[in-house]
Amino acid sequence: MWDGKRVAVIIAAGGQGSRLGASVPKQYLKIGGQPVIVRAMRAFEMMNEIDYIFVVAAEDHVAECRDLFREHGFTKIEAVVPGGETRQDSVYSALQELNRRKPGVGYVLIHDAARPFITQDVIRGVLSATAEKGAAVSCVAMKNSVRKADGEKSESVDRNLYFTVQTPQGFRKSMLIDAYEKAYDSGFVGTDDASIVEFAGGEIAMVDGEYQNIKITTKEDLPMENRVGTGFDVHRFAEDRDLVLGGVYIPFERGLEGHSDADVLTHAVMDALLGAAGLGDIGLHFPDTDPQYKGISSMRLLEKVGALLEDEYFMIGNIDVTLIAERPKIRPFTGQIRENIAAALHIEPVRVNVKGTTTEKLGFTGREEGIAAEAVCSIYR
């Protein structure tokens, strides 16, 4: 409640995020382990001033949204409303549902689900200005020089006169409903809710936003996330098996025992990458009980791991792997191993380091009972 009036928030989450090029709409991508839409709603959920939250989502994501909000413990969700063909249609649908369910609401805030870094300070600033002026938007000043283009001609403009508009945008509910109805009656399509209210004759107050309150639109807008992973694997020696390390056949009297080609070095690399991305381990993705992986090249499995990371928008910083064995000596083959790993993961060989060591005749590797490998990697997105 604000100024004695109930406050409702409409979260606009009906977009498909086509400019991001993701396999799912951008609002469902994860940042730091949480979906963007969850982060965008958290500040509103935690504020005493906010009474109700209405979410408008694409029709095929309504059930997913409801499950997601239950999972994350949201208590102020009143409804998840199917969206329309345009953002304007979607917000109007949510506004009608809000007015039907909660007619006593005095103020309405509208916020983009793709703005996950909104703060309570900005929300309160918009609420305060809305109560005073009837309509308010959060904005930030332009940082860069601005030019106006008209065909092949362009000219400088005074950037001090221009601001970037953000959300939330706040309105008296009655003013917003009237504005939407006038817009539909006139066939007007606004760029945002403030432009619709302005078209209907309303005045918009500007409130200081925050530069961190960005809208996730393209992959460049996603924050950088750095992670580190480790992997360790062991295979015992076996007769009548080829020895394969990093995709290279190594001339040796014995190979390694395993369901696949038992490439212990590559297995360590895969586990490090999967661990860094929080995607489990190779046993989860390629179980040794599955006949399709019988005798398979571990380089093919490494390619699959690389694809899993790409699907989660991770890129590989570097990989450092150590082979632990008395014999054979790996140094003559490290160059080719680096190239094989790099090619499978679509990265430059300089990002991969391979080295070998012994345990000075100690332990199972010292007794030449098998080979171990340890890998460390850094990834980012």
pLDDT by 10s per residue, the chain, length 381? 898 999 999 999 986 655 555 556 778 888 777 899 999 999 999 999 999 999 999 988 899 899 999 999 999 999 999 999 999 999 999 999 999 999 999 999 999 999 999 999 999 999 999 999 999 999 999 999 989 898 889 999 899 999 999 999 999 999 999 999 999 999 999 999 999 999 999 999 999 999 999 998 877 777 778 999 999 999 999 999 999 999 999 999 999 999 999 999 999 999 999 999 999 999 999 999 999 999 999 999 999 999 999 988 899 999 999 999 999 999 999 999 999 999 999 999 999 999 999 999 999 999 999 999 999 999 997
Same domain, 141 and 202: yes
Give whole-number Cα distances, 110 to 26, 56, 90, 126, 298, in Å: 18, 11, 11, 11, 50
CA distance 271 to 259: 16
Quick one: 201 and 234 in the same domain?
no
Q: Is residue 164 part of a domain?
A: yes
Say yes or no: 102 and 245 in one domain: no
What is the DSSP secondary structure assignment for residue 224, as one 8-state letter?
A: P
Say whether 131 sits in a helix, a strand or coil.
Answer: helix
Residue 319: beta bridge partners? Answer: 352, 377
Parent domain of 149: 6-221
What does the buried/exposed string (b/e) look like for 347-369 if buried means 16 or more CB atoms within 10 Å of the residue's CB? Answer: bebebbbbebeeeeeeeebeeee
Secondary structure (3-state) at 110: strand
Helices (H), 203-280: 264-277
Same domain flag for 185 and 292: no
pTM for this model (two decimals): 0.68
- 221, 251, 272 — which closes off a domain? 221
